[in-house]
Structure 1
Amino acid sequence: MTEVLTVRALNRATLARQGLLAREPLGVAAAVERFGGLQAQEARPPFVGLWSRLAGFAPSDLTGALHSRDVVRATLMRGTLHLVTAADYAAFRTPLQPVLDAGRKALGDRAAGLDTARVLPVARELLHAGPRTFAEMRDLLQERFPDVNDRALGFTVRMCVPLVMVPGEDRWGFPRTARFALASDWLGAEPTDAAEPDALVLRYLAAFGPATAADAQAFTGLPALGPVLDRLRPGLRVFADERGRELFDVPDAPRPGPDVPAPARFLPEFDSLVLAHADRTRVISDADRPLLTSKNLRVRATFLWDGFAAGTWEAARRRKVATLNLRPFGTLPDSALDALTAEGEALLSFTEPDATERVVTVTSAD
């Protein structure tokens, strides 16, 4: 008989893999690999995400890994920027090309006259000369292809040429105006030619499983992963959720009991934990899920209580005073507020080390 996993059991399994039951004593590259990459639409959130997951993490640990080229920031899953190890980038970039090709459909009429067979070799030639910003790339490509929309030229290069973002000297890793380099130049080799996503799916299950085929599709952006999971099935554990759906998992991944304590934790904007599944009830209730995304589609920073998303948070700085404001989805017990306040003060010490005063406030739930 297939073992059934409750929502709470899935919650604890996922938190264990994500370093959110206890901070892990891992180096940055090992952590980024284990966590299945970190979404990095903006430069700062991955630093907070690693602080919440790793013991003794300092910003220089991540900037060092970026400069040593053990970790890269690049367009991957769902056509969004992620931090991944150099090895995972090389392995996953080609299997994800269909996702990036599909993203180009958003160009619509702006792609009129665009011939990728002509544009991409020119783009590679320009980038071989050295890293460039996308504003520079658009201007240079427009000179060669004056009848093509400059935004279409830039976006096509972003989606079709393997690129990595060049780190700067900022505390948070990247300058506001980023430069991009050819992955082959930055890492010394082209991504693998292998197009099958098997290794990507296994990495996903190790980081976010047990999970359904629909969950894996939601995270990667790849359609129809059922056949891939069927091919991998002999080497996987298979469970069921409370609705009878098949859940797949790698055999040796942690699956702690549903009653294992989960500490208060803060997740940054766009954190992968809240985006990694089609059914997100293992992390956030369906009733609260709409509160996670703003009108302009920003994924808000959240805090966890008893393992589940219990509200959002925002930090602000005024002169030497750093403030972190909690907005719970509902009423929290005093024990939760005490634990979240202590963790929030520690978070402010990390993000605002030169502040002379750090304050955690709560905006009461309606």
Structure 2
Amino acid sequence: MVISARALNRATLARQLLLGREPLDVEEALRRVVALQAQQPASPYIALWNRLRAFDPAQLDAALADRRIVKATLMRLTLHAVRAEDYRSFREAMEPTLRSSRLGDARFRSSGLTAEDADALVAALLRYANRPRGSAELGEWFEKRLGRPLEAGAQRMLRQYAPLWHAPTGGPWSYNTRLSYEAAGAPRPALGNAKAPERGLRALILRYLAGFGPASIADMAQFAMVHRPRVRAAVKTLADEAGGLEQLTGPDGTVLYDMPGALRPEEDTPAPPRLMAMWDSVLLAYADRGRVIPSEYRKHVTRVNGDVLPTLLVDGRVAGVWRATDGGIEASAFHRLPGQVWEELAGEARSLVAFLAGRDPRAYSRYDHWWAKGVLAAETRLLPGD
């Protein structure tokens, strides 16, 4: 079966809860969308505001406080919010990537420590982090343990490698500039078990396909940042199991895989405009990001340092960027938009301004320097909050 580019787009939007806001609780939403990028504390909240009907941010606050949803370094070596019950398999899937990238990093190697030293340190660190520990506490612990100070870069690599959760530190979005860490709750990832990474990767691939499929081997590898041979082997195993995987052909002839019977709406299904969070997963989950971002706009959305700006999603594809200002939402469209689309975006802006008002009316303001440097805009409008 050949699937069109537009049908792929609609499959992604449907599974990512972007064809209509759903009446789900935050844990079920996280199950459906797999994971939410969380480098910026506001992003998981804005991502859920885009996806859930009458979303109350206090629901996510409570889920994070109760550790039903946790924040940790996972896919693509970046911070994600995931369900606590998914953490173990996701972390096991990422073990080889995390180990090679963090313990092979020059900042760690310059400390004079080996990977074997790191294993011993991590085991002891997890015992020490039986309650939230701030960065300064961890620095003091490393110094006492090693008998010398450990460079900040090496500490960072160890913190990112170890199975640690980020403990909430306060408002407005459960986390602030203070950093605090705690050992991942039971059951912890099975570090050192040779079979665990491949078992975890198969689990992650199934979740990825349910939330982002149909997708290619390259897409799966990009989503997690794992080597393609590992993905290819995992997909072969999954395809050979009872029930298997469905195989499709993409518009360019690429082989795509999907869960049997997975949701794939008609390609003419309407897609309402959305004001997407920074680093929203739909922008980053594929090797071929043309599914959501037109190629001519990609460099205007993903900046040279890796920042992924908040975007306008129009008819399911990126059509511009936005930022919060004192007067409302400033929306810059990369191409001219019909009046009806602007009216719909204005409705989204009113809702978003109200959502941000009680917590952080100027969310993402630290990234205003990109606007100062200039953003592509065929048309810019200030969409007021009232």
TM-score by length of 1: 0.90
Task: Quote the residue 2:133 is aligned against.
Answer: 132
Q: 1:95 and 1:355, CA in 2 relative to 1: closer, same or farther beyond 3 A?
A: closer
Deviation at 1:188, TM superposition (A): 3.6
The reply on whether 1:141 has 2:154 as its aligned counterpart is no
Task: Quote the residue 2:307 is aligned against.
Answer: 298
Deviation at 1:107, TM superposition (A): 2.9
Task: Quote the residue 1:116 is aligned against.
Answer: 118
Task: Quote the residue 2:225 is aligned against.
Answer: 221
C-alpha distance in structure 2 between counterparts of 1:218 and 1:148, whole Å: 36
Q: Which among 92, 95, 104 is matched to residue 93 of structure 2?
A: 95
Deviation at 1:142, TM superposition (A): 2.6
Cα deviation 1:268-293 (Å, max 9, x = unaligned):
11110100000011101111111112
Task: Quote the residue 1:175 is aligned against.
Answer: 176
8 Å CA contact retained: 1:60, 1:171: no
Cα deviation 1:202-222 (Å, max 9, x = unaligned):
000011100000000000011
Task: Quote the residue 1:352 is aligned against.
Answer: 357
C-alpha distance in structure 2 between counterparts of 1:122 and 1:170, whole Å: 31
Deviation at 1:140, TM superposition (A): 2.6
Cα deviation 1:291-346 (Å, max 9, x = unaligned):
112233211011111111111111123xxxx4211111111111111111111111
Q: Which among 325, 331, 346 is matched to residue 341 of structure 1?
A: 346
The reply on whether 1:254 has 2:263 as its aligned counterpart is yes
What is the alpha-carbon root mean square deviation over aligned residues? 2.2
Q: 1:117 and 1:21, CA in 2 relative to 1: closer, same or farther beyond 3 A?
A: closer
Cα deviation 1:173-214 (Å, max 9, x = unaligned):
12320211001xxx3432356322111000000111000000
Task: Quote the residue 2:286 is aligned against.
Answer: 277
Task: Quote the residue 2:237 is aligned against.
Answer: 231
Segments ≥4 residues shifted beyond 4 Å: 146-149, 353-356
Q: Any idea what SS the aligned residue of 2:272 has?
A: coil
Task: Quote the residue 1:264 is aligned against.
Answer: 273
Task: Quote the residue 1:47 is aligned against.
Answer: 45
8 Å CA contact retained: 1:212, 1:247: yes
Q: 1:109 and 1:24, CA in 2 relative to 1: closer, same or farther beyond 3 A?
A: closer
C-alpha distance in structure 1 between counterparts of 2:169 and 2:148, whole Å: 34
Deviation at 1:105, TM superposition (A): 5.8
Structure 1: unaligned runs, 5 residues or longer: 357-361
C-alpha distance in structure 1 between counterparts of 2:67 and 2:291, whole Å: 34
Moved more, 341-350 or 271-280: 341-350
C-alpha distance in structure 1 between counterparts of 2:129 and 2:336, whole Å: 53
Q: 1:145 and 1:336, CA in 2 relative to 1: closer, same or farther beyond 3 A?
A: same
Cα deviation 1:38-78 (Å, max 9, x = unaligned):
01011111100000001110110101111222111111101
Task: Quote the residue 2:382 is aligned against.
Answer: none
Q: Any idea what SS the aligned residue of 1:94 has?
A: helix
Q: Any idea what SS the aligned residue of 1:175 has?
A: coil
Task: Quote the residue 1:310 is aligned against.
Answer: 319
Amino acid at match of 1:60: A
Q: Any idea what SS the aligned residue of 2:105 has?
A: helix
Q: 1:342 and 1:117, CA in 2 relative to 1: closer, same or farther beyond 3 A?
A: closer
The reply on whether 1:209 has 2:222 as its aligned counterpart is no
